Each structure stands twice: as C-alpha cells, then as structure tokens.
Amino acid sequence: MNAQQYRVAAVLSRVSPVSSPWAKMPSQAGPRWHRQPKHLLSVRTMPLDTQRLDKFLSQQLSLNQHDVRLLLARNLVQVDGQVVSQRALRINRFSRIEVEGTVLQANIPYYYMLNKPDGVVSATVDAQHPTALDLLTVPHKAELHIAGRLDLHSTGLLLFTNDSRWSEALAHPNNKIAKHYRVGVAKPLDEGYVQAFAEGMHFPFEDVVTQPAKLQIVSEYQADVWLKEGKYHQIKRMFGRFRNPVTALHRLSIGEIVLDAELAPGQSRALTQDEVNSVRRIG
C-alpha cells in the first residue's frame, strides 16, 4: 500500500470505522466526535447563514482540506440524501449532512402558529406574566423564538420558529409582508380615518412618516387595518391622532398565513408546508 492509499485509509477509518472496508487498516486516532453514537453526532452549531460544504466538513471532522477533497472524490458525502462532490456547495443549518452513513447534522426546522390570548406576554421568559411559549406543548419549544410579537393585551396570530432566516424574511422591509389586524376603538369611526391611514402619519419621536396603511371600516367601532411595517405601538399611536383609544387589537394574518379559525385562544398548531413556503426567504 503506497503513501496515498494509506492516507485515504486513515481518513475513511476515522469517518466510519464500523462500515468502511478500510476500517481494519492502520489509522490515526480519531477525533472526539468519533466517540459519539454513530447514528447522530453531537457537533458544533452551524451559523444561521450558509457556508461551504468543505469548510463544514473540515470543522466538524477536524480534517485538512486535502482529506476533505478525498472524502468528496470518493462519493462518501451526502447532502439531503444526494451524493455530492462539489467542495463549494452552499449548505445551511437545516441541510442534512452524512458521511458514509454517519449523520453529522440533522437539524429540523419547526414552524407553529398560536392564537394568543389576552394577558400573555410575547416572550420566552417573564417573571410576572405567563408567556406565549408556556402555551406551546411541543417537546422542542426551547429551540423556538417568536416571529412578530404582540403586546400584552393584544390577541391573535403569533408565529414561532427555530429558523431565523425565515423569521428575518417575515420582518424584512423588502418583502413588504402585510399584517392584518381587527381593531376595536372607543369612539365612532368615519372616512377621515381611511384617508389619514392611506396618506401616512408623521411620528415626531422617530421623525419618520409611516408607510401608507389600508383601513377598512367594519362597524361603527371596529376597523380592519393592514400594515407593512411595525413601528412601536403603531396602530395605537395612529388612532391616537384622532384621540380615539384602541380597546381591542387582534391579529388575523401575516402575509398569506391566516389564523386558523379552529384554534381557541391559547391553542396552537404546526404550519402547513404551503404556509411556510409563502414566506419568501432572504437571499
């Protein structure tokens, strides 16, 4: 066996000593990840953005670039179930990465909607009030974060995910994703509200003018409002220009994701794949 064959044997035996036909050949001591259970390894957390496949393999397996190229050349690497050989392939934290049957990464993205009740904080931890996360009954809720918060006394659609790129896309101004609210107010409404919301309002504290918003009068004391931005207490402040206090604020939808009418306050469900795909990802 020449020097190159010996080097390949060492790399392969370190990657999968049980199944590799090279496993009985002399090899270097395997790195620490090698001592983990073969079906799922404990590896470093991938950055939220994408990175090159060869860099990921080098970091997770403690291999130099030459050894990584050998793995790829021998078709021992799979990404999302497909054999790959491209070193520069871009992967993300939810790409499933396997090397000769050994799973290096198998993170699963989760997406949920909750019908948030009044008096629940849009937070993961709070010392005074129950949190929206407390209402979820899924086993992996510690991984989740809230995508688009609601105030303590606001109700309706609240989204959770562990996919930061997805939640960033929800909030990204270029995506112009509209949020639909049903608003109750203390004083009667008239057409002047419709025009004022459509023209935008100047907020002196931030010295900005709000983007045009759509307001549709539902009844004398109720209106539907669609916003494509989310400034601090924006709806309450816009109605405040008319000295008309908001008495109820209920979110009905975010983009194409509509609050499930079957969910009672406090109940939740996973998003459908169509609902997940309706949010255009950044990049």
Residue in 134, 151, 224, 260 annotated catalytic: 151
**Which of left, alpha, beta for 251 (phi over 0: left; psi -120 to 50: alpha)?**
beta
221: tokens are: 């004391």
97: tokens are: 């990465």
Beta bridge partners of 226: 180, 214
Phi, psi of 72 (to 5 degrees): -70, -40
Beta bridge partners of 64: none
Amino acid at 72: L
Q: Clarify whether 67 is annotated catalytic.
A: no
3-state helix, strand, coil in the chain (%, to 5): 25, 25, 50
Which active-site residues does the annotation give? 151
